Structure 1
Amino acid sequence: MAKYPIFTALLILLLLSGCSLLPKEEDETIGWSAQKFYSEASFAMNEGDYETAIRYFEGLESRYPFGRFAMQAQLDVAYAHYKDGNPEAAIAAADRFIRLHPRDAHVDYAYYLKGIVNFNRNLSFITRFIPTDTSQRDPGSTIDSFNDFAELVRRFPESPYAEDARKRMYYLRNNLAAHEIHVARYYMRRGAYLAAANRCVTVVEKYQRTPAVKDALEIMIQAYDKLGLEELSADAQRVLALNLENGALQVPESDYEEKSLGKAIWDYLELDKN
C-alpha cells in the first residue's frame, strides 16, 4: 500500500516540473526607464489605446514610485480611465491625486476632470449625435458635476480651466432648473398641484436668472388656481407681470457647446515634449 503515496508524490513532481516548462508571457517593459514608460503610455493614449496607456502608467508608478513622471502618471491615468469609459475609476484616480498632491501645480486639472467625467455620465453614444433634452435625465451626476466645477472655480479662480468650468456651471444650472419644471409638469398631469407648485417655488428661489423661472411662475399660477388658493395665484401673477415688464425674465439660454477635450492635458502639461 505504501507504493501509492510514493506514486502520487512522483506524479505531483512531474506536474510541477511540466508547469515550469510552459512558456511565460514576456514582459516587454523590463528595463524601461521612467521616461520610456511615460513616452510609451503617451503614445498609446494618442493612439486611443487606453487600456495599454493605463497599464503603462500604472507600471510606471509601480516601478518608479517617486519623481515627476510617477506623479504625472497618477494624474494621466485618471484621464485614460475616463477615455476608456470607466468613470468610477477616473474619479477615484483624480481623488487620489488630489489627496496625495493637494498643492501640486496641476491639481486644478484633477478637479476639472472630475467635473468633466460627471458632466458626461448622462451622455450616451446616441445623445452625442442626436439632440436630446438632457434636463429630463436623472440630475444626480449633473449636481455632482456642478459641485466639482464650483470647487475648481472656488479654489483656483485663475486656473486655465476656470472659464470653461464657469460656462459648464451656467449650462448645468439651467439644466437643473429645467429638470424641476419637467417634474412640476408631471405632477400637474397627475393632479398633484401642491407638489407641482412647490417644485416651481424651488426654481424661483434657487435658480433665479434662468430661463425656467418664467415657466415656473406660469405653472404656479395654474397650480394655485386648481387648489383654489386665489391669493397665492394673484401673487404669482404679479411677480410674473412685473418681471416681464422690466425684462428680468429675458434670460438667454446657455451658449455653451460641448467641446472635444482631445489632447487638452497634453497641451497644458507638455511633459511629453521633454
Structure 2
Amino acid sequence: MQKKTLKSLILLLGVSLLAACSNTQDKINDETIGWTAPQLYEHARENVRSKNWKTASNYLHTLSTRFPYSGHAQQAMIDEAYVLWRDDEPEQSLAVIDRFNRLYPNHPNADYMYYLKGLITFTPPSSFLSSYTGQDPSERDPKGLRESYDAYNQLVERFPNSRYAEDARLRLNWLVNTIAGNEVNVAQYYYERHAYVAAINRAQVVLRDFAGVSATERALYIMMKSYEKLGLRDQASDAERVFMQNYPNSEYLSKGLEGSSSWTDFFKLSSWLN
C-alpha cells in the first residue's frame, strides 16, 4: 500500500513539474504577443542577469523561432545554449550548439560555441570519482571525453588565435592523457582477468591513437605480456623488441604490473591541468 502511494506521489510530482514548465512557456507566449525581437532579447537578458535560467531560455527560444531571420536570432541561439547549460540541461544545450554550427559555420562567435560544447562534455577527475560505483571499467564509456576532445580540437585548429584557444589547449592536453589512461587501465583490467585478446585490443588503441603519452609504456608492456600468455611468440618478441628500445630501464621489467596504477588510482590527480 505504501509503495503504491509513493508511486502515485512521484507520478503526481512529475505531472506537476511538466505542467509548471508548460505554463511558464504558455505565459511567455501570451504576454509576448506583439513584442519585437529587441524586446524579447532585453527581457531574456534581464532574466540572465537575475539567473532565472528557465525563463531566460524560454524568451530566447521564442525569439529565435518567432524571428529566425532577425539580427537578434543568432545571438539568441548563442545565449540559449549557455543558459540551457546553466539550467542543467546539457543535452538541450548541445542540440542548440550543433544546430547553430550547422546553420552558421563561419559566424564570428563560432569559436565560443565550440568552446562551450567542449566545456559541457568535459569531465574532470572529481566527477569521475563522485560517480564511481564499482562498476566494471570496461563498461565506462569515454564518449563525453572524446566529444570534448573533438570540440576543443576543432576550436584550436579553426581558430588558433581565439581568446578561448589557450584554455582549450590545456584541456586538450589533459583529455589526451585521460583518454589514453582510461584505455590502458581497461587493458590492465582485462589482462588481470586473463582476457588477453581484449587486453591487446585496448593496448593497441593507446599505441595507435596516443603515441608519446605516459600511458604508452604500460600499454606496450601489457601487449607484450598478453602475447606471451597466448603463446604467440613472434608477436611477443616484436613487442618486447619495441619495448626495450623505448623503455630499457622500465620498472615493469623488474616489478611487473604489481604496484602499478590501478584503473581507479588514475583519477587521483591534484589538478586536471597537471
Letter in 1 for 2:218: D
Of residues 215-224 and 89-98 in structure 1, the stretch that sits farther from structure 2 once superposed is: 215-224
Shift of residue 115 of structure 1?
2.0
Distance 2:189 2:249 in 1: 30
Q: Structure 1: where are the runs of 5+ without partners? A: 1-23, 248-252, 259-274
Counterpart residue identity of residue 95, structure 1: D
The residue aligned with 1:203 is 206
What does residue 183 of structure 1 align with?
A: 186
Matched position secondary structure for 1:68: coil
User: Which sits farther off after the overlay, 213-222 or 58-67?
Assistant: 58-67
Quote the RMSD (CA, aligned, Å). 3.3
Residue 236 (structure 2) aligned to one of 233, 237, 240? 233
Q: What is the one-letter code of the residue matched to 2:228?
A: D
The answer on 1:82 being equivalent to 2:101 is no
Offset from partner CA, 1:182-209 (integer Å, 9 cap, x none): 2212221221213212321221222112
Q: CA deviation at 1:76?
A: 0.9
Q: How does 1:104-183 map to 2 (within 5 A)?
A: 104-120=107-123, 127=127, 136=137, 137-183=140-186
1:219 alignment partner in structure 2:
222
CA distance in 2: counterparts of 1:176 and 1:31, whole angstroms: 51
In 1: Cα distance, 2:129 partner to 2:37 partner: 40
Residues 170 and 257 (structure 1 numbering): CA distance in 2 closer, same or farther, change over 3 Å? Answer: closer
- Matched residues, percent identical? 40
1:176 partner letter: I
CA distance in 2, matches of 1:254, 1:208: 24
Helix, strand or coil: the match of 1:194? helix
What is the identity, as a one-letter code, of the residue corresponding to 1:60?
L
Matched AA of 1:91 = L
In structure 1, C-alpha distance between the alignment counterparts of 2:165 and 2:200, rounded to whole Å: 35
| Residue ranges of structure 2 left out of the alignment (5+ in a row) | 1-25, 251-268
Is the Cα contact below 8 Å between 1:170 and 1:254 reproduced in 2? Answer: no
Counterpart AA for 1:127? S
Deviation at 1:130, TM superposition (A): 5.3
Shift of 1:216: 0.8
Q: Deviations over 1:48-87 (max 9, x none)?
A: 3210110111222344444332221011111111222222
Helix, strand or coil at the partner of 2:247: helix
Give the greater-gyration-radius structure (CA): 1
In 2, distance between residues paired with 1:207 and 1:39?
Answer: 47
Contact 1:221 1:236 in 2 (8 A): yes
Deviation at 1:171, TM superposition (A): 1.5
C-alpha spacing 1:92/1:180, structure 2 compared with 1 (3 Å)? same
Contact 1:81 1:89 in 2 (8 A): yes
Encode CA deviations 1:217-240: one digit per residue, 9 max, x unaligned: 221232223223344434434433
**Distance between the aligned counterparts of 2:41 and 2:183, measured in 1?**
46
Q: Deviations over 1:86-139 (max 9, x none)?
A: 22211111122222222221122222222222224xx79x72885979xx5311
User: Could you tell me whether the CA contact under 8 Å between 2:174 and 2:273 is conserved in 1?
Assistant: no
Q: Deviations over 1:140-196 (max 9, x none)?
A: 122222122222222222222222222222222212211211221222122121321
Residues 52, 129 of structure 1: CA spacing in aligned structure 2 closer, same or farther, 3 A cutoff?
Answer: farther
Among 82, 95, 98, the residue aligned to 1:95: 98
Q: Matches of 1:51 and 1:217 in 2, distance apart?
A: 50
1:45 to 1:234, Cα distance in 2 relative to 1, 3 A: same
For residue 263 of structure 2, what is the aligned residue in structure 1? none
- TM-score of the aligned structures, taking structure 1 as reference length: 0.69
- TM, length-normalised to structure 2: 0.69
Contact persistence 1:108–1:159 (CA under 8 A): yes
CA contact (8 A) 1:174 1:254 kept: no
Is the 1:200–1:220 Cα contact (8 Å) retained in structure 2?
Answer: yes
